Chain A
Amino acid sequence: MKWGVVRFPGSLDDGDALYALRSILGQDAAMLWHKDETLGGADCVVLPGGFSYGDYLRCGAIARFSPIMKSVLRFAAEGGLVIGICNGFQILCEAHLLPGALMRNRSLSFICDFIYVRVENAQTPFTRAARVGEILRLPIKHGEGCFVAPAEELAQMEERGQVVLRYVDEAGIESDAANPNGSMRSIAGVANDRFNVFGLMPHPEHAVEKMVGGEGGLKIFQSIIGGAR
């Protein structure tokens, strides 16, 4: 399977995403520059974490107008798989490929920690290697991860199964204490209504090896790879 990892000015986690895909998962992954106009034949595009364009104005607001995003929008409209991690999630929301928005954390603090998410929908291309209710341990590191959306939209998202990951505690229980950033309904990851675009605040690419960060992120990538076979 061919992967394209987009590097925006200010991207940070493009290197880890490439490492996870190439060295751990044996994938054919290429770096795509934000000024590129094509996606190099990628089957799945990764928008990595970081601080694209210095997070000026709002996180993801400027990256959305990068030349490559025209191709990403077209690719997504044709049903291509797009995954946005952290800043990538923010970019996908700003580009209206995903519903809602990500605001300052409830605490106003940047949070760097391990959290647990529960898989709410295991039928998406991004979670099909997991079970519904499966708990994944993943790292987060963000200042703007508080997911918000209008009430009507939230209800529709829940109904359609677009809420893919929710913050929970180790036992899988949702609570205010287990919600690191104040996200509405403890939402950690969402898909679009066609389920080919997925955004999440936690970092699966930092959790692909037992020795560093654990293997909680593998399920996400394995789901995508498994579906392509």
Chain B
Amino acid sequence: MQVKVFVTPRKGILDPQGRAVEGALKSLGFNGVASVHVGRYVVIEIDAPSKAAAEAAVKQMCDQLLANPNIEDYRVEVDAG
């Protein structure tokens, strides 16, 4: 089973990287850009008895390692392959 993890800077926390990319996009002429946030995308292949079990395991991985709960949020998507 494949699990996708999207880690993003927590809303309201300064995201200088997102701001820099936003500025660059605007200078390219993409004036409709309201905001940009740059995060991390992690793909995990995992053996699990069910989608729910895979999701639960990956959420634990996020809490313990993949995301920093002080500054980041994460979202988990399970693809039953």
A residues adjacent to B (C-beta < 8 A): 57-58, 61, 65, 93-94, 100-101, 103-108, 146, 148-150, 182
CA distance A79 to B70 in the complex (A): 25
Whether B71 contacts A108 by the Cβ 8 Å rule is: no
Whether A104 contacts B68 by the Cβ 8 Å rule is: no
CA distance A101 to B68 in the complex (A): 8
Q: Please, which residue of chain A has its CB at the minimum distance from the CB of B40?
A: A57
Complex partner residue of B70 from A101, A104, A182, CB under 8 angstroms: A101
Residues in chain A near residue B14, CB distance under 8 A: 103, 106, 146, 148, 182
Q: Please, which residue of chain B has its CB at the minimum distance from the CB of A106?
A: B16
Residues in chain B near residue A105, CB distance under 8 A: 16
Complex partner residue of A149 from B16, B40, B66, B70, CB under 8 angstroms: B70
CA distance A116 to B17 in the complex (A): 26
B residues adjacent to A (C-beta < 8 A): 13-14, 16-17, 20, 40, 65-66, 68, 70-71
Q: How far is the CB of B5 from chain A (nearest CB, A)?
A: 12
Whether B68 contacts A61 by the Cβ 8 Å rule is: yes
Q: How far is the CB of A62 from chain B (nearest CB, A)?
A: 8
Residues in chain A near residue B16, CB distance under 8 A: 103-108, 146, 182
CA distance A94 to B16 in the complex (A): 20
CA distance A13 to B13 in the complex (A): 30
CA distance A107 to B70 in the complex (A): 21
CA distance A97 to B70 in the complex (A): 13
Q: How far is the CB of A182 from chain B (nearest CB, A)?
A: 7
Contacts A/B (CB < 8 Å), 22 sampled: A57-B40, A58-B68, A61-B68, A65-B65, A94-B68, A101-B71, A103-B13, A103-B16, A103-B71, A104-B16, A104-B17, A106-B14, A106-B16, A108-B16, A108-B20, A146-B14, A148-B13, A148-B14, A148-B70, A148-B71, A150-B70, A182-B14
CA distance A212 to B4 in the complex (A): 49
Given A57-B40, A148-B70: 5 more A-B contacts, CB < 8 Å = A101-B70, A103-B14, A103-B16, A146-B16, A148-B13
Q: Please, which residue of chain B has its CB at the minimum distance from the CB of A107?
A: B16
Closest 10 CB pairs of A and B: A101-B70, A101-B71, A108-B16, A106-B16, A101-B68, A104-B16, A108-B20, A58-B68, A148-B71, A104-B17
Residues in chain A near residue B13, CB distance under 8 A: 103, 148
Residues in chain B near residue A103, CB distance under 8 A: 13-14, 16, 71
Residues in chain A near residue B20, CB distance under 8 A: 108
Q: How far is the CB of B8 from chain A (nearest CB, A)?
A: 13
Q: How far is the CB of A203 from chain B (nearest CB, A)?
A: 23
CA distance A146 to B13 in the complex (A): 11
Whether B70 contacts A100 by the Cβ 8 Å rule is: yes
Residues in chain B near residue A146, CB distance under 8 A: 14, 16
Q: How far is the CB of A192 from chain B (nearest CB, A)?
A: 15
Q: How far is the CB of A188 from chain B (nearest CB, A)?
A: 17
Residues in chain B near residue A150, CB distance under 8 A: 70
